[in-house]
Chain A
Amino acid sequence: SSELTQDPAVSVALGQTVRITCQGDSLRIYYATWYQQKPGQAPVLVIYGRNNRPSGIPDRFSGSSSGNTASLTITGAQAEDEADYYCNSRDSSDNHVFGTGTKVTVL
């Protein structure tokens, strides 16, 4: 299957740790890429490849992978981390696929 499945929503207390997961067969072959999207804004790249952060992304964001599951962890969540998060990968036809998205609420 080329689908990437994410939990629809998670919540985290301010300063605590939250892990967002993404499941799909393609993740056995490809690393996931993670994007953050706030309302009315374009997505922003937060993690790519094995565990790489673009310049400007805080080091509280990290990525990991095991089997068919990729994870994005926010360690010490801040209010500004409240957003939708999408994973992305490619399928067997080399097409991009986005996950279903996870809404993160910081309490």
Chain B
Amino acid sequence: QVQVVQSGGEVKRPGASVKVSCKASGYTFTSYGISWVRQAPGQGLEWMGWISAYNGNTKYAEKIQGRVTMTRDTSTSTAYMELRSLRSDDTAVYYCARESEKREPEKMATIFFQHWGQGTLVIVSS
């Protein structure tokens, strides 16, 4: 069965960096992309970006472009998300999610997240 397991919670000072890992199992890692989604306390879901596990191509949300880097290691089936220059408003639960695709008539293909990691709480505090 598909499993996505993330690294543990972190506490960071403002200005520091954090790197969260996301280890996948139960499927061919390079066949699916990984997205990262975060959720600040009491807030909604925010998509951060995507990485192709196949070739490492990335796409980042405009809001955090320049502060985020997503990478992957195909030898360990692990994706990583590094966020730099942390601020207090980066305090959130960070999720990785494996993407799948559904093609149907009438509209563009649907990319959806069927398998989510358990979440990693990152607290940014002085």
A residues within 8 Å of B by Cβ?
A: 29-31, 33, 35, 37, 42-45, 48-50, 52, 54, 65, 86, 88, 90, 94-101
Chain B positions 99 through 115: 1 when the CB is less than 8 Å from some CB of chain A, otherwise 0: 01010101110111110
Q: Which A residues are in CB contact (< 8 Å) with B46?
A: 98
B45 within 8 A of A: yes
> Could you tell me the distance between the alpha carbons of A99 and B95 in the complex, rounded to whole angstroms?
17
CA distance A73 to B61 in the complex (A): 30
Find out whether the CB atom of B107 lies under 8 angstroms from the CB atom of A95.
no
Chain B residue nearest in CB terms to A51: B104
B113/A98 in contact, CB under 8 A: no
Interface of B is mostly: strand
Contact B107 A29 (CB under 8 A): yes
Q: Other than the known A33-B113, A98-B46, what 7 A-B pairs have Cβ atoms closer than 8 Å?
A: A35-B45, A44-B116, A86-B45, A88-B113, A98-B37, A98-B44, A101-B44
In the bound assembly, the distance between CA atoms of A94 and B61 in angstroms comes to 10
Contact pick for A98, options B47, B111, B112, B116, CB 8 Å: B47
User: When A and B form their complex, which 8 residue pairs have the shortest distance between CB atoms, in order from nearest?
Assistant: A96-B47, A48-B112, A49-B102, A42-B116, A98-B45, A33-B112, A49-B110, A101-B44
What distance in Å separates the Cβ of A16 from its nearest Cβ neighbour in chain B? 26
Q: How far is the CA of A86 from the CA of B100 in the complex (A)?
A: 18
Q: Is the pair A88, B112 in contact by a Cβ cutoff of 8 Å?
A: yes
